[in-house]
Amino acid sequence: MTDTLEIEINRIESSRLNDVDFENLPFGKVFTDHMLMCQYTNGQWSAPKIMPYGNIPLSPASSMIHYGQSIFEGLKAFRTEANEVVVFRPEKNWARFNASATRLCMPEIPKEIFVEGLRQLINLDRAWVPNRSDSSLYIRPFMFATDALLGVKPSETYMFMIILAPVGPYYPKPLHLKIETHYTRAAMGGVGAAKAAGNYASALYPAKLAQEQGIDQLIWTDAKEHKYLEEAGTMNMMLVIGDTLITPPLTATILPGVTRDSFLTLAREAGVNVEERRISTDEVVEAAKAGTLREVFGVGTAATIANVVKITFEDQTFELPAIETRKISPAIGEKLLRIKKGQEEDTHGWNITI
């Protein structure tokens, strides 16, 4: 392994690793020893620096706080049986990060800083990559505006950072989802296809209302008619009706998920009939009543494959077939995980070894 990008590294004096209970990892609460920082000023990115994980100084007038120029990514590293550390499809996340940056009027980040930066950071903190089968190292690259200015305009300065978190499962149990027909996650022409921080903020209140009714998360529908399914919570969603795997097509209101793309690729290769098309609430209700709605699940980096066991639509709740009876989500989900962990041949060249 050679380091092609010169990164100044300021190491911690003593690691916090031994304080961590790797048998009971929560999602996103424990962070590794180091983080990466890189500043954008005068139209260019400075050399990235790796330093001890910790708080950062920020002007209270920082435009990210007031006007929300803030984007992020999520990807994972795994420890293989051969004790190597591999990261799944970082270039795909880099490309999506830059698409989000363009939509939020922020500068693109060079591949070298994003991919090589995370590679060197993970290499430094490689002892933190869990080896339990339900755990991984979650990688969170993010960028935010740092101009101290209350005028509404694109910032001229930005901070790019990467932090790392050893994580356990995102959803500890299967989900009960409600089809949301009042609130909207994204509208055509909006920022739904970008991984913008504000998308997550605006989803909190509708999700909280559902959670007060004992429901875990929402299935978002289109902003115009509230008739077509879009995403499930913070995930892309997939259904199996009969023997066909169906998922909403990638429009301007749907995040182009890396797990979505990987899952569909493997499903097609396994001979599954895949349809990327609109799915109406009527179709879901009819299939649930007819017993042909065999599987519903969310796919995302954090959640991987999240099984849905109940769907509420208006005043009706449908119990879905038992998870043990499902075929496509467990088979393809398992294959995807085996590839990520180096247990199965990576024929697509998705993994990079750290």
Residues binding ligand COI (CB under 6 A): 74, 200, 234, 300-302
For ligand COI, the closer of residues 176 and 195 by Cβ is 195
Min dist. Cβ of residue 151 to ligand COI (A) = 30
Task: Report the residue closest to ligand COI, judged by CB.
Answer: 74
Min dist. Cβ of residue 167 to ligand COI (A) = 9
For ligand COI, the closer of residues 196 and 287 by Cβ is 196
Residue 93 CA to its chain's centroid (Å): 9
Min dist. Cβ of residue 80 to ligand COI (A) = 21
Mapping DSSP to helix (H, G, I), strand (E, B) and coil, where does residue 156 land? Answer: coil
DSSP lists the bridge partners of residue 304 as 300
Min dist. Cβ of residue 200 to ligand COI (A) = 6
For ligand COI, the closer of residues 7 and 235 by Cβ is 235
Tokens 């990892």, residue located: 25
For ligand COI, the closer of residues 62 and 301 by Cβ is 301
Min dist. Cβ of residue 301 to ligand COI (A) = 4
Residue 327 has a CB neighbour count (10 Å cut-off) of: 12
Min dist. Cβ of residue 195 to ligand COI (A) = 7
The C-alpha angle 95, 101, 106, rounded to 5 degrees, equals 145
Element (H or E) spanning 247, and its range?
Answer: strand 244-247
Min dist. Cβ of residue 104 to ligand COI (A) = 16
For residue 112, give Cα distances in angstroms to 45, 104, 116, 234: 11, 21, 5, 28
Residue 15 CA to its chain's centroid (Å): 28
Mapping DSSP to helix (H, G, I), strand (E, B) and coil, where does residue 143 land? Answer: strand
C-alpha span between 354 and 351 (Å, rounded): 9
C-alpha span between 182 and 178 (Å, rounded): 11
For ligand COI, the closer of residues 219 and 241 by Cβ is 219
For ligand COI, the closer of residues 294 and 341 by Cβ is 341
Element (H or E) spanning 285, and its range?
Answer: helix 281-290
Cα pseudo-dihedral 198, 202, 208, 214, rounded to 10: -100
For ligand COI, the closer of residues 154 and 169 by Cβ is 169
